[in-house]
Amino acid sequence: MPTDPRGNRSGAAGGPGDGGLYDAVLLVSFGGPDGPDDVMPFLENVVRGRPVPRERLLEVAEHYHHFGGRSPINEQNQALLSALRAELASRGPHLPVYWGNRNWHPLLPDTLKQMTADGVKRAVALVTSAFSCYSGCRQYRENVAAACATVGGDAPTVDKIRVFFNHPGFVDTMADNLRRALADLGGRGEPVTVLFTAHSIPMSMADTSRYVPQLEESSRLVAEAAGVSDWRLVFQSRSGPPSQPWLEPDVCDAIRTLAGGGVSRVAIVPIGFISDHMEVLYDLDTEAADLCRELGVQMVRVPTAGTAPRFVSMLRDLIAERHWQLPDRPAIGRLPASHDVCPADCCPAPAARPPASPTGSGERPARGPGR
């Protein structure tokens, strides 16, 4: 049964606007299958229009079937919706929150139709990606525009909030998670190497966006806040032909290198993702964890931001700053706060888009960080 675009079958929470620019919030995400029968149709949606071999789809499908054919991202988005609605009800702005996905129910065209029927004229979109690149930002804006086009002239105007890689609410949340994970790892005084990981993307996409500089800065800020000096940025979940260059090193290659150099303890921080969806559960909690056991490396995987109170409060603040046109744009570190309105040439699509390879369902680009 398709999921209600208002996030649950009891309808939307929230109330009328309160004098700001918007009369609704739209949570935009990647989507994922709800059961075994959904897996192949979902994957076909992900790669539509691109020549991905069916064998590759069947291979990726096994990642989902390993977890019962169900992606955790849908329940995670439901939990985020509930937490965000409670935060908005408590602190304002008092806006209804809708939910639409790129690749599975509730699909963006259905959500935009519902919003139009409900009389929404202008909405602010919250995309489940903290970083800038084609699939994590611009492609979602294109998806929303295409959904609005299916509705016609009465569709609401939808503006996207800024990316939040260096917002103190995101940095503090991830630093807290890292500190707790290191404490749980134990071994007082024994060295731990921290690997910050994000979805790999084609170099052609990375070269036309601020994805890598933003990841490097966010990782540095989290490491410093957590008191970590031995860290590095790695990547995961690459796809496409071996001849096509993607961001490296891969997290598993990095673990092998570290183990070969005598490192025996690692903490993996999925900085590029905001929830523990399939690419976290399979690529890190399964593949990377299995490799660490094989190599005798003790590993802890740090939780994503999820519905941590500080993170949800930050999302509310990002909505409020646009809704009420607040002058302050909180950001820390060496890079400024990202722009509210993306320039026309921001995060362009690669000249030749690579075949998508849908391993997960949350934060990725071509396939990459747009979850």
**pLDDT above 80 for 7:** no
Domain of 268: which CATH number? 3.40.50.1400
- pLDDT higher than threshold 90 for residue 357: no
Q: Is the pLDDT of residue 358 over 80?
A: no
pLDDT recorded at residue 98: 98
Residue 261 lies in a domain: yes
pLDDT (average), residues 179-196: 91
Of 3-7, 61-65, 97-101, the range with the lowest mean pLDDT is 3-7
| pLDDT at site 6 | 59
- The domain total for the chain is 1
Q: Which two tokens stand for residue 313?
A: 């409060």
Question: What is the average per-residue pLDDT within 125-145?
Answer: 96
Quick check: is 360 in a domain?
A: no
pLDDT for residue 16: 42
Q: Would you state the pLDDT for residue 369?
A: 61
- Max CA distance (Å), the chain: 63
The verdict on residue 150 lying in a domain is no
Calpha distance 33→45 (Å, rounded): 11
What does the block give as tokens for 232? Answer: 């590095």
Between 51 and 79, where is the model more confident?
Answer: 79
Mean pLDDT within 58-62: 92
Summarize the confidence of residues 322-350 as an average pLDDT: 94
Strands 231-236 and 265-269: unpaired
Tell me the average pLDDT across 255-278.
97
Q: What is the pLDDT of residue 344?
A: 85
The C-alpha atoms of residue 223 and residue 216 are separated, in whole angstroms, by: 10
Question: Alpha helix locations (H) across the chain?
Answer: 39-46, 54-65, 73-91, 108-117, 139-151, 168-185, 203-206, 211-225, 251-260, 278-281, 289-295, 309-323
The average pLDDT across 292-312 equals 98
Model confidence band, residue 242 (pLDDT cutoffs 50, 70, 90) = confident
Sequence letter at residue 56: R
- 2 pLDDT above the threshold of 70: no
Q: Which domain holds residue 252?
A: 168-301
The confidence score (pLDDT) of residue 190 equals 84
pLDDT of residue 265: 97
Indicate whether 127 belongs to any domain: no
Is 230 a member of any domain?
yes
Average pLDDT score over residue span 94-110: 97
Which token pair is 108? 């963006």
Residue 9 has pLDDT above 70, yes or no: no
Q: Residue 3: its pLDDT value, please? A: 57
Q: Is residue 366 part of a domain?
A: no
Q: How many DSSP H helices and E strands does the chain contain?
A: 12, 8
pLDDT at 259: 98
Residue 352 — pLDDT band, cuts 50, 70, 90?
low
pLDDT of 49 over the 60 cut: yes
In a domain, 163, yes or no: no
Percent of the chain with pLDDT over 70: 89
Q: Which of these, 370, 342, 368, lies nearest to 160 by C-alpha position?
A: 342
Mean residue pLDDT across the chain:
90
pLDDT(365) > 70: no
Question: What is residue 350's predicted lDDT score, i.e. its pLDDT?
Answer: 81
**pTM tops 0.85:** yes
Count of positions (residues) in the chain? 371
Q: What is the pLDDT of residue 53?
A: 87
| pLDDT of 140 over the 50 cut | yes
Q: Does some domain include residue 272? A: yes
Q: Tokens 């005598």 map to which residue?
A: 262
Cα–Cα–Cα angle for 66, 67, 69, rounded to 5 degrees: 90
Give the side-chain half-sphere CA count within 13 A for 72. 15
pLDDT band at 56 (very low <50, low <70, confident <90, very high): confident
